[in-house]
């Protein structure tokens, strides 16, 4: 941690006793049961009056031992377990897991499946950012006020996308639509028309939300230069995703390390420089529009051909490998979601020896002890909302 | 293999070959580097080759039966770093340590490594020497045992509701 | 004072929405239309001759990630064809812990287990959510079947070499 | 008629009327906000959910009243009814019709402002008594907000008093009947004073965008965190009551009380109050909330100086235009 960053931000390892003794600090526990901690997350705040002096995050309330479960279940059985990790964008979990296994087993994915995966991923990004937008408005505006109005609008639009997913995969949220070597559900006829209709509505409704957000001065007062995370701190903390792009660093895996069919399409990456809450929300709103543009350009041109490159799975012990490591990462709405898998585990090689998930939200949360000191409690809630952590992914 | 950038990039492997004499690991994966030169490798990767984003740290426990070294439990830790911006690449290497020994921490180089190392200590039990605040990240403080050890109970029967 | 001037646009948006049709429905009376592929609760089915399709081969029991299915095998005379055949003596599916991942439907060799499009009916006790064989066969009669059966899923996941047409129900848009 | 009996009748009528109007304003707010959020709102109890307030009241009544063990029992119990009492007390002076007023004090506006500012005390007492960190934060914010918004409220209320030359509510309304409503007739000060009076009174009643004391996204429920059952019900009811009476006062001061185009009378007063009341709901459900220090900055940097200018301009208007009556 280079010295320049130490002065600019709060010190997470500040020793409370040395802080000036006569300031009587109040310890306030934000969470784990709190309306705006986006899941079970506890933030121990040391308050001097209403200004935060030190913030100590505590995690693990949602720890389910997913990585231990990976040692027992076979490759195919893990896919439905994994789309419950980041329960706001399940597509990305399944895709990164399945890509890691395909790396490990050296399996080729047919072009139609790669196109289908790109479309599903981008639609899931729109749905995930819409949910973030609603939750962020709730953090700023309160559950019984303007915030919940925008929350309802975002959920009304998100339903359109979930219905489209229901048409393809049969389930609204936990799809289990990916398998090693391709996808399990093909596109029903007439699906593309539904996608065009839904995305056109969402695109027009986004302008409506802008009246609540980017031009509304009360909102700007709550988000402009609040919780500034600049490029150096973000890179230092390993933060990726909208928070890094809002801090001015132009890094997006879809364009820099293309996977699926991203190398065949042009991905424009929105970047802001301010690094505060407002910049993060602008980046996410621009990303919604960008994803809509990508999906509408791709959804009619899905190439014909097979959906998977391996025979449909008929037994639990279907893939076997006894050695090798593989890493695959996906640009999830919160950053680089990576899966590192080591082959050769139990069930005679049919389950992984060790599987590690690189959760982008864990790194996003690690900026809190640096950024929170100096802000008030209502700012802390706004910053936590703009960082958009998902505890299912952080605690695994 | 159509997925680019997922295997250690050539630049990283070239650096490893000529400066750090890596050994090939028998269970596959990135090259194995001596524990002593591990921090030096991370510093050169970050400063000279521009791998600034901290990717992952994965500790895997190899009990005596599986590991070749004279019947002592081994822990192999795989590290990964990523470059920023267009054509982003991945650098990865492994370090092997006997159970109970410590590994020098990267928390001073990458603040992002701080919590990931705490998680590995919490789940696999490998101690990172020099870590500013090595506590359990997810399990409660008074939890005894490290769940991802191979000798940790694995086949506890799920209590059926029936 | 500039705070109140451009809040008017936010007020205008919310007033505009007052005149739009509400999207929520009164759930118990009005049900949202489910798509054809929606997968909710389960049903065991009879094959073409009217005999029980399930042969008790435990494929679904092994594939289930949350181990909620238990199957017991028995060999007995088939009431229709008269030959000695394997049946499932007892088949319990614990809907408490089921994660609706459709793997059991995919691995079933005889298209015996299918999912239905009627959302799960809440029960008052955990035991009621434990669907036994009788309940599963009764679901077949009462609930509307979902689109997926093992053969349709297999037909959809054929690799390039064998693009074989599915046996069983013809795939509407293969 | 014996003044005591008259006061009693008025008291009973006004209290029951206000309570029922507030109760059904709960229904109206939930229906109106639901429509704004493209939802259905309550539809289960009674036709289009009309019995919802009754059901809510019963639910709150049969909920167990928990008093935290480390709470200050007396304050904890007394605070909610006190807020309702103060909110109702301000209704005594509001003239609903030509001579339909409980007590026509000639210091009506002063009485209202005095009781209005007293409402901070029970809210603070509720927060302090529940001995909960979030409640204390909420109550401190309530005090800060209440005190600082007292000044623009008083100054904004001074403008009609200066223009009408009397503090009695009926005189103000009669003056407006004669010379046109304050909100429109003296183009400068009148409408601007209303624009200051409304946000200041919203801040007084802790309504969005000023509801910092019970900001549920940050302080869980602020002052009302520890309250369950009827305690919470009373605090919640007091907030609605206070808003209803503030909108009634605003109609009297700025929109000419019971004066109306065809046949001036009680019905005009009620219509105007309910329209203003609906407007407050509309603002509540579409604006994001301020941060508490921004709230204070608005008050001290903008509202107080401008309000002073307003009162001075009203005085100048009276001096020059009306020949210093």
Q: What is the pLDDT of residues D149-187, one digit of tens each?
A: 888 889 988 888 888 888 888 888 888 888 878 777 777
Provide the pLDDT confidence category of residue C84 given band limits of 50, 70 and 90: confident
Distance CA(A83)–CA(A85), nearest Å, equals 6
Provide the pLDDT confidence category of residue D7 given band limits of 50, 70 and 90: confident
Residue A132: predicted pLDDT: 93
> Where do we find the tokens 């900055």?
D297
C-alpha dist (Å) from residue A383 to A87, A226, A362, A370: 21, 7, 15, 12
The tokens for D206 are 């802790």
Mean model confidence pLDDT for chain B: 82
Interface test with B, best of C65, C68, C135 (most B CBs within 10 A): C68
CA angle, residues A32, A36, A40, in degrees to nearest 5: 30
The class (CATH top level) of A66-395 is mainly alpha
Contact A25, A373 (CB under 8 A): no
CB contact under 8 A, D220 and A35: yes
Task: Work out the widest C-alpha separation in chain D, in whole angstroms.
Answer: 65
Distance CA(D222)–CA(D169), nearest Å, equals 35
On the CB side of A259, how many CA atoms lie within 13 Å of its CA? 28
Residue C164: predicted pLDDT: 47
Q: Mean pLDDT across the stretch B48-62?
A: 89
Name the neighbours of D, counting chains with at least 3 Cβ pairs within 8 A.
Answer: A, C
The tokens for D74 are 């007396």
Provide the pLDDT confidence category of residue A343 given band limits of 50, 70 and 90: confident
Distance CA(B121)–CA(D171), nearest Å, equals 78
DSSP-assigned beta bridge partners for residue C87: C74
Distance CA(A17)–CA(C40), nearest Å, equals 57
Which of A295-299, B56-60, B141-145 comes out lowest in average pLDDT? B141-145
Q: Mean pLDDT across the stretch B93-122?
A: 89
Whether residue A167 is predicted with pLDDT greater than 70 in this model: the reply is yes
Nearest by CB to A166, from C38, C109, C163: name it.
C38
Sorted by sequence, the CB contacts under 8 Å of residue A60 that are 6+ apart come out as A395, B136, B137, B138, B139, B140
Contact D257, D208 (CB under 8 A): no
In terms of pLDDT, which residue wins out, A173 or C28? A173
The pLDDT tens digits for B32-46 are 888 888 888 899 888
Q: Does A140 touch chain D (CB under 8 A)?
A: yes
Distance CA(D191)–CA(D254), nearest Å, equals 8
- Determine how β-strand C84-94 pairs with β-strand C130-131: antiparallel
CB contact under 8 A, D291 and A26: no
3-class SS of residue D32: helix
3-class SS of residue C90: strand
Residue A330: predicted pLDDT: 92
Query: Closest-CA residue in chain C for D199?
Result: C4
Q: Mean pLDDT across the stretch C71-88?
A: 86
**Residues of chain C positioned with their CB less than 8 A from the CB of B160:** 67, 94
Query: Closest-CA residue in chain B for C131?
Result: B162
Q: Does C18 touch chain D (CB under 8 A)?
A: yes
DSSP-assigned beta bridge partners for residue B80: B56, B92
C 101-140 residues with CB < 8 A to A = 101-103, 106-107, 109, 115
Contact A314, C59 (CB under 8 A): yes
Interface test with A, best of C103, C154, C171 (most A CBs within 10 A): C103
Residue D35: predicted pLDDT: 87
Query: Closest-CA residue in chain D for C19?
Result: D35
C-alpha dist (Å) from residue B119 to A40, A57, A258, A326, B133: 18, 14, 29, 20, 12
**Residues of chain A positioned with their CB less than 8 A from the CB of D290:** 218, 221-222
Interface test with C, best of A64, A170, A310 (most C CBs within 10 A): A170
Q: Does B158 touch chain C (CB under 8 A)?
A: yes
Q: Does A49 touch chain C (CB under 8 A)?
A: no
The pLDDT tens digits for A36-91 are 777 788 889 998 887 888 899 988 888 988 998 888 888 889 999 998 888 899 99
The 3-state secondary structure of chain A, one letter per residue: CCHHHHHHCCCCCCCHHHCCCCCCCEEEEECCCCCCCCCCCEEEEEEECCEEEEEEEECCCCCCCHHHHHCCCCHHHHHHHHCCCCCCCHHHHHHHHHHHHHHHCCCCCCHHHHHHHHHHHHHHHHHHHHHHHHHHHHHHHCCCCHHHHHHHHHHHHHHHHHHHHHHHHCCCCCCCCEECCEECCCCCCCHHHHHHHHHHHHHHHHHHHHHHCCCCHHHHHHHCCCCCCCHHHHHHHCCCCHHHHHCCCCCCHHHHCCCCCHHHCCCCCCCCCCCCHHHHHHHHHHHHHHHHHHHHHHHHHCCCCCCECCCCCCCCCCCCCCCCEEEEEEEECCEEEEEEEECCCHHHHCCCCEEEEECHHHHHHCCHHHHCCCCEHHHHHHHHHHHCCCHHHHHC
- Determine how β-strand C42-44 pairs with β-strand C69-77: unpaired
Residue A210: predicted pLDDT: 79
The pLDDT tens digits for C19-58 are 888 888 887 778 888 888 888 889 998 888 888 888 888 8
Contact B94, B33 (CB under 8 A): yes
Chain region(s) in chain A for CATH 1.10.645.10:
66-395
The pLDDT tens digits for A256-269 are 888 888 988 999 99
3+ Cβ–Cβ pairs closer than 8 Å linking B and A: yes
Provide the pLDDT confidence category of residue A129 given band limits of 50, 70 and 90: very high
Chain A closest CA to B113's CA: distance in Å? 8
In terms of pLDDT, which residue wins out, D81 or D214? D81
Distance CA(D52)–CA(D44), nearest Å, equals 8
Residue A240: predicted pLDDT: 92
Helix, strand, coil % over all residues of chain D, rounded to 5: 70, 0, 30
Q: Does C2 touch chain D (CB under 8 A)?
A: no
In terms of pLDDT, which residue wins out, B160 or A76? A76
The tokens for A207 are 């302008």
Contact A213, A303 (CB under 8 A): no
Whether residue D323 is predicted with pLDDT greater than 70 in this model: the reply is no
Interface test with A, best of C11, C19, C150, C159 (most A CBs within 10 A): C159
In terms of pLDDT, which residue wins out, A323 or A156? A156
**Domains in chain B: ranges and CATH:** 10-100 (3.30.460.80)
> Where do we find the tokens 């076979």?
A74
Chain C closest CA to A303's CA: distance in Å? 14
Interface test with A, best of C17, C35, C144, C154 (most A CBs within 10 A): C35
Name the neighbours of B, counting chains with at least 3 Cβ pairs within 8 A.
Answer: A, C
Distance from CA of residue D124 to its chain's centroid? 17
Query: Closest-CA residue in chain C for D38?
Result: C22
Name the neighbours of C, counting chains with at least 3 Cβ pairs within 8 A.
Answer: A, B, D
Return the DSSP state at C167. Answer: S
Q: Does A153 touch chain C (CB under 8 A)?
A: yes
In terms of pLDDT, which residue wins out, D219 or C102? C102
Provide the whole-model pTM.
Answer: 0.91
First to last CA, chain D: 36
Report the candidate in A91, A169, A168 with the shortest Cα–Cα distance to residue A126.
A91
Query: Closest-CA residue in chain C for D32?
Result: C18
Distance CA(D302)–CA(D178), nearest Å, equals 33
- Go through chain B and tell me how many residues it has: 162
CB contact under 8 A, C63 and A315: yes
Which of A31-35, A61-65, B106-110, C107-111 comes out lowest in average pLDDT? A31-35
């Amino acid at each position: 941690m280079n010295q320049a960053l130490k002065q600019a931000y709060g010190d997470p390892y500040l020793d409370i006793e040395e802080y000036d003794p006569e300031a009587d600090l109040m310890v306030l526990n934000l969470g784990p049961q709190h309306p705006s901690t986006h899941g079970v997350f506890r933030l121990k705040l040391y308050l001097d009056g209403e200004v935060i002096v030190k913030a100590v995050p505590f995690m693990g309330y949602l720890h389910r031992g997913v990585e231990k479960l990976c040692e027992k279940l076979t490759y195919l059985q893990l896919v439905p377990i994994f789309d419950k990790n980041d329960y706001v964008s399940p597509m990305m979990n399944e895709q990164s897991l399945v890509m890691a296994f395909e790396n490990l087993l050296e399996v080729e994915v047919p072009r139609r499946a790669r196109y289908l995966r790109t479309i599903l991923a981008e639609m899931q990004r729109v749905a995930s950012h819409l949910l973030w937008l609603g939750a962020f408005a709730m953090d700023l505006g309160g559950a019984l006020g303007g915030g919940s109005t925008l929350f309802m609008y975002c959920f009304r639009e998100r339903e359109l996308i979930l219905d489209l997913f229901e048409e393809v995969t049969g389930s609204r949220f936990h799809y289990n639509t990916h398998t090693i070597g391709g996808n399990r559900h093909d596109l029903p006829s007439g699906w593309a028309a539904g996608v065009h209709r839904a995305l056109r509505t969402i695109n027009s409704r986004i302008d409506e939300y802008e009246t609540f957000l980017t031009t509304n001065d009360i909102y700007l007062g709550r988000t402009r230069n609040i919780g500034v995370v600049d490029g150096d701190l973000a890179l230092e903390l390993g933060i990726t995703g909208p928070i890094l792009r809002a801090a001015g660093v132009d890094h997006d895996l879809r364009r820099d390390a293309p996977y699926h069919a991203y190398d065949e399409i042009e991905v424009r990456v929105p970047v802001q420089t301010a690094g505060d809450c407002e910049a993060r929300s602008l980046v996410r709103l621009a990303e919604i529009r960008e994803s809509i543009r990508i999906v509408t350009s791709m959804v009619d041109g899905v190439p014909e051909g097979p959906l998977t490159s391996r025979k449909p799975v008929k037994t639990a012990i279907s893939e076997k490998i006894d050695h090798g490591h593989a890493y695959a990462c996906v640009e999830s709405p919160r950053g680089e979601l990576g899966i590192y898998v080591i082959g050769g585990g139990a069930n005679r090689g049919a389950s992984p020896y060790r599987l590690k998930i690189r959760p982008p939200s864990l790194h996003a949360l690690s900026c809190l002890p640096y950024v929170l000191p100096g802000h008030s409690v209502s700012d802390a809630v706004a910053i936590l909302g703009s960082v958009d952590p998902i505890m299912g992914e952080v605690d695994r | 293999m159509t997925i680019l950038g997922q295997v250690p990039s050539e630049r990283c492997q070239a650096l490893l070959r000529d400066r750090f004499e890596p050994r090939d690991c028998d269970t596959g994966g990135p090259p194995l580097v001596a524990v002593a030169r591990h921090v030096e490798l991370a510093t050169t990767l970050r400063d000279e080759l521009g791998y600034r984003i901290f990717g992952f740290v994965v500790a895997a426990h190899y009990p005596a039966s599986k590991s070749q070294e004279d019947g002592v439990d081994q822990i192999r830790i795989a590290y990964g770093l990523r470059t920023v911006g267009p054509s982003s690449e991945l650098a990865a290497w492994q370090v092997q340590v006997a159970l109970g020994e410590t590994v020098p921490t990267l928390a001073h180089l990458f603040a992002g490594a701080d919590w990931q190392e705490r998680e590995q200590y919490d789940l696999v039990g490998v101690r990172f020497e020099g870590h500013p605040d090595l506590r359990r990240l997810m399990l409660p403080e008074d939890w005894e045992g490290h769940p991802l050890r191979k000798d940790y109970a694995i086949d506890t029967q799920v209590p059926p509701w029936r | 004072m500039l705070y109140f001037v451009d809040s008017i646009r936010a007020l205008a948006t919310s007033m505009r929405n007052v005149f739009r049709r509400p999207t929520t429905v009164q759930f118990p009376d009005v049900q949202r239309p489910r798509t054809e592929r929606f997968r909710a609760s389960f049903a065991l089915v009879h094959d073409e001759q009217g005999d029980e399709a399930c042969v008790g081969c435990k494929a679904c029991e092994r594939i289930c990630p949350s181990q909620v299915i238990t199957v017991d095998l028995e060999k007995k005379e088939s009431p229709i064809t008269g030959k000695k055949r394997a049946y499932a003596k007892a088949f319990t599916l614990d809907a408490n812990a089921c994660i609706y991942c459709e793997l059991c439907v995919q691995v079933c060799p005889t298209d015996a287990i299918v999912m239905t499009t009627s959302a799960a009916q809440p029960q008052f006790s955990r035991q009621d959510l434990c669907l036994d064989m009788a309940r599963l066969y009764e679901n077949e009669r009462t609930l509307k079947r979902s689109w997926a059966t093992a053969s349709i899923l297999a037909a959809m996941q054929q690799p390039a070499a064998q693009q074989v047409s599915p046996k069983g129900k013809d795939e509407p848009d293969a | 008629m014996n003044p005591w009996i008259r006061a009693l009748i008025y008291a009973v009528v006004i209290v029951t009327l206000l309570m029922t109007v507030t109760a059904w304003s709960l229904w109206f707010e939930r229906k109106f906000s639901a429509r704004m959020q493209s939802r259905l709102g309550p539809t289960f109890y009674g036709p289009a959910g009309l019995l919802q307030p009754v059901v809510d009241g019963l639910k709150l009544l049969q909920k167990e009243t928990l008093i935290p063990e480390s709470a200050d029992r007396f304050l904890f119990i007394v605070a909610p009814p006190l807020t309702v009492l103060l909110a109702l007390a301000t209704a005594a002076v509001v003239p609903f019709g030509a001579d339909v007023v409980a007590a026509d004090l000639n210091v009506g506006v002063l009485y209202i402002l005095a009781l209005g500012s007293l409402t901070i005390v029970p809210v603070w007492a509720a927060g302090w008594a529940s001995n909960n960190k979030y409640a204390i934060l909420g109550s401190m914010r309530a005090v800060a907000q209440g005190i600082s918004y007292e000044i623009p409220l008083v100054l904004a209320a001074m403008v009609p008093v200066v223009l009408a030359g009397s503090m009695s509510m009926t005189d103000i309304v009669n003056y407006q009947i004669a010379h046109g409503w304050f909100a429109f007739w003296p183009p400068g000060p009148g409408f601007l004073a209303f624009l200051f009076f409304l946000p200041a009174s919203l801040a007084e009643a802790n309504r969005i965008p000023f509801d910092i004391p019970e900001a549920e996204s940050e302080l869980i429920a602020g002052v009302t965190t520890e309250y369950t059952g009827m305690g919470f019900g009373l605090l919640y009811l007091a907030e609605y009551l206070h808003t209803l009476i503030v909108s009634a006062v605003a109609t009297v001061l700025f929109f000419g009380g019971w004066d109306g185009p065809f046949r001036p009378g009680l019905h005009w007063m009620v219509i105007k109050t309910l329209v203003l009341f609906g407007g407050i709901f509309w603002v509540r459900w579409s604006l994001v909330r301020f941060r508490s220090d921004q709230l204070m900055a608005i008050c001290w940097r903008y509202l107080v100086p401008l309000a002073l200018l307003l009162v001075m301009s009203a005085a100048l208007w009276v001096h020059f235009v009306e020949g210093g009556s």
